[in-house]
């Protein structure tokens, strides 16, 4: 197995490109287009070249999956609907599709409307920071739709705690620990939260934005009669007095003790 980056005397990107030219190795990278690009189903990761200066705006020619949000074709909003079963997308605009097909469909519609670009400074595992530009229209769209459905279907404490799990899960995967025992354990937590994340999400794409404009689920925890402000309100407002007293009791006791400290300090 050859490991040129570690073993050969190719210390710069320019040296690598010169070696490729000299030995007839076909590579898309040239001095005029020096970007390092990772390309797959989910999107593209772009670095190097002028992007190594975090003050420089990414040039337009690095993007291929996402269009200019200001072109005339984006003057009217475009809508799409994604349906989920058990947390997984199963259909697009009412038509059943494979996960692979849905990703491609989302890449197409979101990218066409200029949505899905990320320009960020990353914290690498080895401790250094790097600037990376991503084109991930389908991934960002699905994440946004999925989160909207979770807001509807997950109980409050589970929903809030899952944010910490997501952060740690992403950190493990970013650091190459896909098969680690902690990541496997977090998978179990996430899987258990998705059992009832089933329903439909409607999205509006317009000039580089993707906004959730509707969501529904047979397992929704949203209760209109509890949430409404009109005459159909079924919430027992008389229960509020006791709740306020109990919920604020620890803070009330703490404040009383703090006042004692203040008086002693004055003496």
Tens digit of each residue's pLDDT (9 = 90 or more) over 173-228 = 999 999 999 999 999 999 999 999 999 999 999 999 999 999 999 999 988 766 65
**pLDDT value, residue 256:** 85
- The answer to whether 205 and 76 have CB atoms below 8 angstroms apart is no
The whole-chain average pLDDT of the chain stands at 89
pLDDT surpasses 80 at 244: yes
Backbone phi, then psi, for 37, in 5-degree steps? Answer: -130, 125
Q: How confident is the model at residue 22 (pLDDT cuts 50, 70, 90)?
A: confident
pLDDT at 232 exceeding the cut of 70: no
pLDDT, position 186? 98
Q: Which residue has the higher pLDDT, 265 or 121?
A: 121
pLDDT confidence of 267, banded at 50, 70, 90? very low
Is 120 in contact with 60 (CB distance < 8 Å)?
no
Q: For 164-174, how does the pLDDT look when each residue is reduced to its tens digit (9 = 90+)? A: 999 999 999 99
Average pLDDT rounded to a whole number, residues 54-71: 88
Residue 19 clears pLDDT 90, i.e. is over it: no
49 or 172, greater pLDDT: 172
pLDDT score of 35:
79
Comparison of pLDDT for 208 and 16, the residue scoring more: 208
Segment 244-253 shows an average pLDDT of 88
Q: What is the mean pLDDT of residues 15-28?
A: 83
Q: Is the pLDDT of residue 71 over 50?
A: yes
Q: Which pLDDT band holds residue 73 (cuts at 50, 70, 90)?
A: low
C-alpha to C-alpha distance for 212 and 149, rounded to whole angstroms: 10
Q: Which residue has the higher pLDDT, 188 or 12?
A: 188
**Rounded to an integer, what distance in angstroms lies between the CA atom of residue 252 and that of residue 139?**
47
Q: Residue 265: pLDDT above 70?
A: no
pLDDT over 70 (residue 72):
no
Pair 203, 141: CB distance under 8 Å: yes
pLDDT band at 230 (very low <50, low <70, confident <90, very high): low
For the chain, what percent of residues have pLDDT higher than 90? 63
Give the pLDDT band of residue 260 (cuts 50, 70, 90): confident
DSSP 152-212: HHS-HHHHHHHHHHHHHHHHHHHTT-TT-HHHHHHHHHHHHHTTT--EEEEEEEETTEEEE
Confidence label for 6 from pLDDT (cuts 50, 70 and 90): confident
**What separation in angstroms does the CA of 204 have from each of 5, 109, 212, 222, 239?**
45, 10, 6, 22, 40
């Amino acid at each position: 197995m050859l490991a040129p980056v570690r073993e050969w005397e190719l210390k710069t990107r320019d040296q690598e490109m010169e070696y490729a030219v000299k030995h007839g190795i076909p590579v898309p990278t040239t001095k005029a287009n020096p970007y390092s690009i990772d390309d797959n189903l989910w999107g593209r990761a772009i670095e190097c070249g002028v992007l190594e200066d975090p003050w420089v705006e990414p040039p337009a020619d690095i993007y291929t999956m996402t269009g200019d949000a200001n072109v005339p074709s984006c003057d009217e909003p475009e809508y799409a609907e994604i349906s989920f079963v058990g947390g997984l997308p199963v259909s697009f605009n009412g038509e059943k599709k494979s996960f692979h097909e849905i990703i491609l469909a989302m890449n197409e519609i979101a990218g066409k409307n200029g949505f899905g670009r990320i320009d960020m400074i990353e914290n690498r595992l080895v401790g250094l920071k790097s600037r990376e530009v991503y084109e991930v229209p389908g991934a960002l769209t699905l994440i946004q739709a999925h989160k909207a459905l979770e807001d509807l279907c997950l109980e409050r404490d589970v929903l809030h705690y899952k944010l910490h799990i997501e952060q740690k899960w992403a950190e493990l995967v970013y650091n190459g620990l896909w098969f680690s025992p902690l990541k496997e354990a977090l998978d179990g937590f996430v899987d258990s939260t998705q059992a009832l994340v089933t329903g439909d999400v409607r999205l509006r794409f317009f000039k580089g934005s993707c906004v959730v404009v509707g969501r529904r689920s047979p397992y929704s925890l949203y209760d209109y009669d509890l949430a409404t402000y009109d005459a159909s309100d079924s919430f027992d407002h008389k229960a509020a007095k006791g709740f306020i007293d109990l919920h604020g009791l620890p803070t009330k006791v703490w404040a009383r003790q703090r006042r004692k400290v203040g008086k002693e300090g004055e003496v």
